[in-house]
Chain A
Amino acid sequence: MKILAKTGNEAMAYAMKQINPDVVAAYPITPATEVVQIFSNYVADGEVDTEFVAVESEHSALSACCGASAAGARVMTSTASQGLALMHEILYIAAGNHLPIVIALVNRSLSAPINIHCDHSDTMGSREAGWMQLYCANSQEAYDSIPIALKIAEACGVPAIVSTDAFIISHCMDRLEVLEDDEVQKFIGEYNPKYFALDLENPKTYGPLDLQDYFFEHKRSQIDAFSKVLSTYNKVAKEYEKLSGRYYPAVEEYKTDGADVAIFTAGSTADTAKEVVDELREQGRKVGLVRMRMWRPLPVEEIKAALGKFKAVAVMDRSDTMADFGGPVFLETRGILYDLDKKPIITDYVYGLGGRNVEIADIVRVYDEISEIAKTGKVKKLVTYLGVRGEE
């Protein structure tokens, strides 16, 4: 086992190097610039065999990725925020054509106002595009998630996004355990797509016009491919555990045994909340944490099993839906828990927009408030904007 010191961006670039994709087409954007900048060094130094395509925008980057992937190549790219927004149109095209592209993404808020720091509004805005989404809590997880995501994407014909929190993970130096190159290669295997456009013996057409008579059937089959992602994930994550000793469930529970209340959140905040849980547990408080790692597809049964047992749950959402009804994780979690006979009271805390720091005290406050809700059964405020000035 090799131990390195790397930032989140360096870790994702290193994972890409070990995968050695056939094609990477990318356009730089803060805070994900380093991922492709470092990767382009690997290309220049001959450490990978990748064809690196420097393009003029993210729209072009993902378009070039789609072309390469349809041609039969193993393809990756990287972006953040506005870059993902500019890719939005092509996200659907990659997914609709079942092209297993992987994006190493850094979560950053969307303009306006312009900001370069972390929130999850970029990927949350792309939930319906047909990409698997994995939200990582630290650099190690980001490194591990890249080959995991690639393997699932190629097995299911579904593209994938692996994301880290802007600066908090992307630029923070961390201890990183890495696999050997050949271990990664063996894990992901050779990419042999069943169909590819450059099959000269059996020519294919990708992306033809599909009207009222067949469009719906093709969408239905896309949803079916997506329905196999979670079971494939569970298998691949176990396989990766055998290789690395590190296991990442789609929904992670932390000290939930005997807990009355829990926070349900994602990304680096989950790691901060673990510290809070440790402290509160020492004080004898019955609190736990559930971490959302996969948010597309929704791990419905896992979320029911993880959250159904509490008296009260606070979702911490790092983006808002502008529905005037809280954040996306909150809304979808409420939908998932609706069918349970006995369900927790569930409230939402929208926090950390534009990189606003979330502190230990903020998380303690959330635990205090949901503990009170669990005791009294009364919800004073369904959606709270946590850490914003001008609010109680």
Chain B
Amino acid sequence: MKDVKVECQRLMDWQELAKGCLIQEAATSRHFKTGDWRSLRPVWDSEACIQCLFCWITCPDTSIKVEDGKVVGIDYEFCKGCGICAEICPPKASAIKMVREEK
């Protein structure tokens, strides 16, 4: 059985809040992990990849990990499994395949 970590956070009273649900910090989407929305998982094959970076530029969640200008993997903490990367990957390379998430 997998360990489930529950984070308990005190919810603030209305007097403590910024007016109008204003978020006063940049890039807060990093705190919101969307990977558990996924039902299909993109699996990247480093051998087949031709490093065209189409997947990187089209990923709507910036979940294609790139180091030194090269794809090195997929960020499963944020990837929602939309499949755009697999769709855009050139058929001759076909380096990304969508597989069903299993429990």
Chain A residues proximal to chain B, CB less than 8 Å:
96-99, 157, 195, 202-208, 210, 213-214, 216-218, 220-222, 224-225
Kindly name the residue among A220, A221, A224 whose own CB sees the greatest number of chain B CB atoms within 10 A: A221
Can you spell out 17 A-B residue pairs with CB atoms less than 8 angstroms apart? Answer: A96-B20, A96-B21, A97-B20, A98-B19, A157-B20, A195-B18, A195-B19, A203-B25, A203-B26, A205-B22, A205-B28, A210-B21, A217-B17, A218-B14, A218-B17, A220-B14, A222-B19
B12 within 8 A of A: yes
Q: 4 other contacts beyond A216-B14, A217-B12, A221-B19, with CB at 8 A cut-off?
A: A97-B20, A97-B21, A157-B20, A205-B23
B13 within 8 A of A: yes
Contact A214 B21 (CB under 8 A): yes
Residues in A neighbouring B25, C-beta threshold 8 A = 203
Residues in B neighbouring A204, C-beta threshold 8 A = 22-24
Shortest CB-to-CB span from A136 to chain B, Å, is 28
Residues in A neighbouring B12, C-beta threshold 8 A = 214, 217
Contact A213 B19 (CB under 8 A): no
Residues in A neighbouring B14, C-beta threshold 8 A = 216-218, 220-221, 224
> Main SS of the interface on chain B?
loop
Bound Cα distance from A216 to B17, whole angstroms = 11
Closest Cβ neighbor of B18 among chain A residues: A195
Contact A98 B23 (CB under 8 A): no
Residues in A neighbouring B18, C-beta threshold 8 A = 195
Bound Cα distance from A221 to B14, whole angstroms = 6
Contact A207 B21 (CB under 8 A): yes
Closest Cβ neighbor of A215 among chain B residues: B21
Residues in A neighbouring B24, C-beta threshold 8 A = 195, 202, 204
Shortest CB-to-CB span from B23 to chain A, Å, is 4
Residues in B neighbouring A99, C-beta threshold 8 A = 20
Q: Which B residues, 1 to 49, have Cβ-Cβ distances below 8 Å to chain A?
A: 11-15, 17-26, 28
Residues in B neighbouring A157, C-beta threshold 8 A = 19-20
Residues in A neighbouring B26, C-beta threshold 8 A = 203
Bound Cα distance from A330 to B34, whole angstroms = 51
Contact B23 A221 (CB under 8 A): no
Shortest CB-to-CB span from B12 to chain A, Å, is 7
Closest Cβ neighbor of B9 among chain A residues: A213
Bound Cα distance from A224 to B20, whole angstroms = 12
Known: A98-B20, A225-B19. A213 touches B28 (CB 8 A): no
Bound Cα distance from A222 to B22, whole angstroms = 12
5 nearest CB pairs, A to B:
A205-B23, A217-B14, A203-B26, A220-B14, A97-B20
Neighbour of A217 across the interface among B13, B22, B23, B28, CB < 8 A = B13
Shortest CB-to-CB span from B22 to chain A, Å, is 6
Bound Cα distance from A221 to B12, whole angstroms = 12
Kindly name the residue among B12, B14, B19, B21 whose own CB sees the greatest number of chain A CB atoms within 10 A: B21
Residues in B neighbouring A220, C-beta threshold 8 A = 14
Bound Cα distance from A213 to B10, whole angstroms = 11
Closest Cβ neighbor of B26 among chain A residues: A203
Bound Cα distance from A222 to B17, whole angstroms = 11
